[in-house]
């Protein structure tokens, strides 16, 4: 019922933010409503009206007046101050403003980049020097200097893999003397879009073969990266495997015996169920599902993608998990851009790279707005007790965006439960958030379509709350009034009993209550129709 009423309300309402200063067709208690405002609502209604009588301009104007009277009453009764109303409007505002906070050109380019990086894989190796989660400037400088020195050593002739094994803080690069496991020496194998964190992906695809990047930062720390080569992607595959976890001589003997059984035409699925040590896949005949290169560890990926034909299986090979035999079940080549565009856009929108779109919007707004940061007010960032400073000492204006002042208190309130980043980093995030908030708050003045839709939803929601109280709840709970109405209108129900007509009686009683209520509102608020403008409008639609 609520959705139905909101839909009806939205189809009736109009924006109060219309910028057309044309003639007034009616006034309700001093509130002027222009011809263009009513005309827009009327034409919207025409799309769902069938009969000629229902299309009558005068009748529609009367219905519109009734609607506006109800909305006015809702404001008079402070329904717009209800917590439930405020919460729902805030949620709707966030949904409605979302498209305005996206740089569509930028997003389109991200989608094109994602396709190129899906169709083409890069083979790279890297070295990582980690930074603390709450890194101070001195921490980042230490990490940056350390990795820069490692880069210089490689450029001066030292082996990349040797340096990675010794100094990289990516555990996968290091040898483990306790288990005898060999690290990957920084070799990542081939990977494509969405396989790595976005800054790493960008660095890999922006570097030429054989070159080593300057240090760049991700959430893990500082990296240097060397590109080995690029190749066209093999797409994704579906595969199954048999795993023997025992890496001793007996494990090798066992995997070789299984391989011999496969060569003697025994079924791969049956052998996986009987012998595989991978509990997640053995009961499915060893099936691993669909994956691309880079999703699995390099030796496994190399073996799986090295199989040419469906149903081919590999010779036994070893990884850190044990001995494997892998079988190719199906190939999924990379589709065309048009086929993948929708799915890629969804991935882009749900990925961390969408922050770049927001960043692009913020950067544009910074050029448009007058933004002033008070260096004196900003000095509180240096205080260790910043989160416990009394609020009456935090009333200084910290940031000004055009005419709006943001106080120190607002910033401290923002960081009070945020301890994942240093205060100076949180300040930059806070400032950018305030710029976005200012933009969202002013959309009703800068985007007429947004203002119109928001106003429609606000009025529709108010109407729902008002109708709930004035009509629907009253008609269902006022049993005495309902029965009195039934007795007064027995002729309309062929003198049948109340029980057999209850549904129809409730419906009719609601109309009765609403008509009486409208009459009261018409007496309460002064309504003036400018007949000359109404005649012109009628004449206009007759001519059409």
Q: Is the pLDDT of residue 475 over 80?
A: no
Burial class (CB in 10 A: 0-12, 13-18, 19+), 393: exposed
- Looking at residue 315, its pLDDT comes to 97
Length of the chain: 544
Query: pLDDT class for 495, splitting at 50, 70, 90?
Result: low
- Looking at residue 507, its pLDDT comes to 85
Q: Is the pLDDT of residue 230 over 90?
A: yes
More reliable by pLDDT, 342 or 16 = 342
- Looking at residue 479, its pLDDT comes to 77
Query: pLDDT class for 260, splitting at 50, 70, 90?
Result: very high
- Looking at residue 66, its pLDDT comes to 93
Provide the edge-to-edge strand list for the sheet that holds 120-130. 187-191, 120-130, 221-232, 216-218
- Looking at residue 527, its pLDDT comes to 93
Does 115-232 carry CATH code 3.30.70.1450? no
More reliable by pLDDT, 490 or 222 = 222
Query: pLDDT class for 279, splitting at 50, 70, 90?
Result: very high
Taking alpha carbons only, the member of 258, 277, 278, 276 closest to residue 266 is 258
- Looking at residue 150, its pLDDT comes to 97
Residue with tokens 């690290």: 183
What digits encode the pLDDT tens for the residues 423-443? 988 999 999 999 999 999 999
Q: Pull the structure tokens for residue 250.
A: 């007996």
Query: pLDDT class for 8, splitting at 50, 70, 90?
Result: very low
Contacts of 107 (CB under 8 A, 6+ apart): 345, 348, 349, 354, 357
Q: CB neighbours (10 Å) of residue 487?
A: 8
- Looking at residue 104, its pLDDT comes to 83
Query: pLDDT class for 480, splitting at 50, 70, 90?
Result: confident
- pTM flag (> 0.75): no
More reliable by pLDDT, 492 or 231 = 231
- Looking at residue 14, its pLDDT comes to 38
Q: Is the pLDDT of residue 494 over 80?
A: no
What digits encode the pLDDT tens for the residues 141-150? 999 999 999 9
Ranges 8-17, 79-88, 164-173, 203-212: which has the least confidence: 8-17
- Looking at residue 4, its pLDDT comes to 40
Q: CB neighbours (10 Å) of residue 150?
A: 21
Among 305-319, 420-434, 503-517, the range of highest mean pLDDT: 305-319
Q: Is the pLDDT of residue 240 over 90?
A: yes
More reliable by pLDDT, 392 or 4 = 392
- Looking at residue 13, its pLDDT comes to 42
Q: Is the pLDDT of residue 12 over 60?
A: no
Decide whether 2-76+446-543 matches 115-232 in CATH topology: no
- Looking at residue 72, its pLDDT comes to 92
- Looking at residue 147, its pLDDT comes to 96
More reliable by pLDDT, 367 or 509 = 367
Q: How far from chain centre, in Å, is Cα 194?
A: 17
- Looking at residue 16, its pLDDT comes to 35
- Looking at residue 474, its pLDDT comes to 75
- As a whole number, the mean pLDDT across the chain is 88
Q: DSSP string spanning 182-222?
A: ---TTEEEEE-TTSS-HHHHHHHHTS-TT-BPPPEEETTEE
Percent of the chain with pLDDT over 90: 61
Q: How far apart are CA 297 and CA 490, in angstroms?
A: 81
More reliable by pLDDT, 246 or 485 = 246
| Overall average pLDDT of the 289-316 stretch | 91
What digits encode the pLDDT tens for the residues 440-462? 999 998 888 888 889 889 998 99
Q: Is the pLDDT of residue 476 over 80?
A: no
Query: pLDDT class for 358, splitting at 50, 70, 90?
Result: confident
Q: Is the pLDDT of residue 415 over 50?
A: yes
| Overall average pLDDT of the 508-530 stretch | 91
Q: How far apart are CA 387 and CA 343, in angstroms?
A: 44
- Looking at residue 191, its pLDDT comes to 92
Query: pLDDT class for 353, splitting at 50, 70, 90?
Result: confident
Q: How far apart are CA 33 and CA 24, in angstroms?
A: 6
Q: What is the CATH number of domain 2-76+446-543?
A: 1.10.4030
| Overall average pLDDT of the 345-356 stretch | 86
Q: Specify the DSSP class assigned to residue 255.
A: H
Q: Is the pLDDT of residue 133 over 90?
A: no
- Looking at residue 21, its pLDDT comes to 45
Topology of domain 236-332, per CATH?
Chitinase A; domain 3 (3.10.50)
Ranges 25-34, 185-194, 298-307, 462-471: which has the least confidence: 462-471
Residue pair 227/123 in contact (Cβ under 8 Å)? The answer is yes
Q: Pull the structure tokens for residue 223.
A: 């990296």
Domain ranges of the chain: 2-76+446-543, 115-232, 236-332, 369-426
More reliable by pLDDT, 4 or 130 = 130
Q: Pull the structure tokens for residue 537.
A: 């409008």
252-258 contacts, C-beta under 8 A, 24 or more apart: 252/316, 252/323, 254/323, 255/316, 255/323, 255/324, 255/325, 256/316, 258/316, 258/325
């Amino acid at each position: 019922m609520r959705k139905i009423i909101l839909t009806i309300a939205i189809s009736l309402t109009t924006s109060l933010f219309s910028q057309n200063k044309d003639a007034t067709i009616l006034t309700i208690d001093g509130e002027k409503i222009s011809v263009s405002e009513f005309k827009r609502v009327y034409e919207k209604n025409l799309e769902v009206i069938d009969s000629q009588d229902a299309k009558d301009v005068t009748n529609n104007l009367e219905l519109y007046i009734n609607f506006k009277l109800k909305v006015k009453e809702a404001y008079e009764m402070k329904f717009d101050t209800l917590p439930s109303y405020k919460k729902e409007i805030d949620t709707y505002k966030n949904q409605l403003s979302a498209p305005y906070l996206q740089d569509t050109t930028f997003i389109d380019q991200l989608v094109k980049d994602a396709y190129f990086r899906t169709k083409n894989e890069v083979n790279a190796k890297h070295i990582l020097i980690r930074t603390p989660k709450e890194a101070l400037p001195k921490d980042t400088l230490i990490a940056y200097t350390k990795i820069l020195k490692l880069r210089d050593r490689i450029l001066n002739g030292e082996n990349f893999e040797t340096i990675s094994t010794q100094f990289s803080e990516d555990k996968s690069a290091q040898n483990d003397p306790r288990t005898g496991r060999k690290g990957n020496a920084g070799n990542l194998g081939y990977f494509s879009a969405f396989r790595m964190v976005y800054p790493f992906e960008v660095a890999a695809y922006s570097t030429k073969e054989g070159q080593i990047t300057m240090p760049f930062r991700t959430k893990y720390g500082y990296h240097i990266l060397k590109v080995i080569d690029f190749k066209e992607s093999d797409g994704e595959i579906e595969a199954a495997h048999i795993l023997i976890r025992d890496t001793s001589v007996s494990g090798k003997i066992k995997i070789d015996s299984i391989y011999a059984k496969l060569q003697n035409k025994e079924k791969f699925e049956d052998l996986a169920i009987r012998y595989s040590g991978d509990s997640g896949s053995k009961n499915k005949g060893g099936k691993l599902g669909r994956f691309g290169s880079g999703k699995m560890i390099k030796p496994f990926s190399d073996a799986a993608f090295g199989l040419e034909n469906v149903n081919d299986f590999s010779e036994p090979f070893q990884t850190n998990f044990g001995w494997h035999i892998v079988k190719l079940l199906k190939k999924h080549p990379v589709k065309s851009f048009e086929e993948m565009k929708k799915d890629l856009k969804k991935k882009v929108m749900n990925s961390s790279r969408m922050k770049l779109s927001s960043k692009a919007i913020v950067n544009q707004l910074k050029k448009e707005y007058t933004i002033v940061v008070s260096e004196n007010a900003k000095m509180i960032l240096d205080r260790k007790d910043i989160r416990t400073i009394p609020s009456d000492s935090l009333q200084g204006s910290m940031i000004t965006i055009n005419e709006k002042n943001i106080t120190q208190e607002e910033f401290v309130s923002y960081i009070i439960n945020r301890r994942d980043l240093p205060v100076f980093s949180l300040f930059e995030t806070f400032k950018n958030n305030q710029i976005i908030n200012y933009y969202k708050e002013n959309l009703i003045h800068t985007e007429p379509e947004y203002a119109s839709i928001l106003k429609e939803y606000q009025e529709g929601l108010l109407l729902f709350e008002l109708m709930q109280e004035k009509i629907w709840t009253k008609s269902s709970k006022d049993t005495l009034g309902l029965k009195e109405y039934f007795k007064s209108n027995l002729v309309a129900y062929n003198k049948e009993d109340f029980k057999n007509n209850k549904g129809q009686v409730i419906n009719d009683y609601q109309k009765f209550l609403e008509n009486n209520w409208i009459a009261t509102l018409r007496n309460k608020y002064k309504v003036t129709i400018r007949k000359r403008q109404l005649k012109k409008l009628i004449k206009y639609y007759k001519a059409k």
